[in-house]
């Protein structure tokens, strides 16, 4: 049996992992899209990074695949994508999946939204 902590560790060996400080430096730059992978209840309770695009973890593959009936144009934009979740586990797995699907220039935030908030990063309600 493969455990989730092992899957996350493997993903972190493959994907570009940003510190919170590196992510903060990218926030707001043209051509950079932050993607919040958390459940809608988490966003209602804890807010989100301003300007982030919300894509629940369960829809990611369907929204990335341009041949899917659920495809979202944003994932075909050529932007750099910075994924985040609450603590960095879901985002590590998501970044790996996105790379395997051919999405280029994907990163995730080590420590996730919790680390972002702890470091004083901006937060705002989902609009």
DSSP for 94-121 reads HHHHHHHTT--SEEEETTHHHHHHHTT-
The predicted pLDDT at position 108 comes to: 98
Report field, pTM of the whole predicted structure over 0.75 = yes
The predicted pLDDT at position 126 comes to: 84
Q: Please give the structure tokens belonging to residue 102.
A: 């051919």
The predicted pLDDT at position 8 comes to: 95
**Phi, psi dihedrals of residue 31, rounded to the nearest 5°:** 85, 5
The predicted pLDDT at position 68 comes to: 97
Max distance between CA atoms of the chain, in angstroms, equals 42
The predicted pLDDT at position 19 comes to: 97
DSSP-derived 3-state class of residue 67: coil
The predicted pLDDT at position 3 comes to: 97
The list of the chain residues with pLDDT below 50 reads none
pLDDT in tens, 107-118: 999 999 999 999
CA distance 121 to 127: 18
The predicted pLDDT at position 127 comes to: 76
- Domains and their CATH numbers in the chain: 4-118 (3.40.250.10)
pLDDT in tens, 57-66: 999 999 999 9
């Amino acid at each position: 049996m493969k455990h989730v902590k092992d899957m996350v560790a493997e993903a972190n060996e493959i994907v570009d992992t940003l510190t919170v400080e590196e992510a903060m430096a990218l926030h707001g730059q043209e051509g950079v899209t932050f993607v919040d992978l958390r459940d809608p209840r988490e966003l209602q309770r804890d807010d989100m990074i301003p300007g982030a695009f919300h894509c629940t973890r369960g829809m990611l593959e369907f929204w990335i695949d341009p041949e899917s009936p659920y495809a979202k144009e944003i994932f075909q934009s050529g932007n750099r994508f910075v994924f985040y979740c609450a603590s960095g586990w879901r985002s590590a797995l998501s970044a790996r999946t996105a790379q395997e699907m051919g999405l280029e220039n994907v990163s995730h935030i080590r420590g996730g939204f919790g680390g972002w908030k702890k470091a004083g990063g901006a937060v705002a309600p989902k609009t």
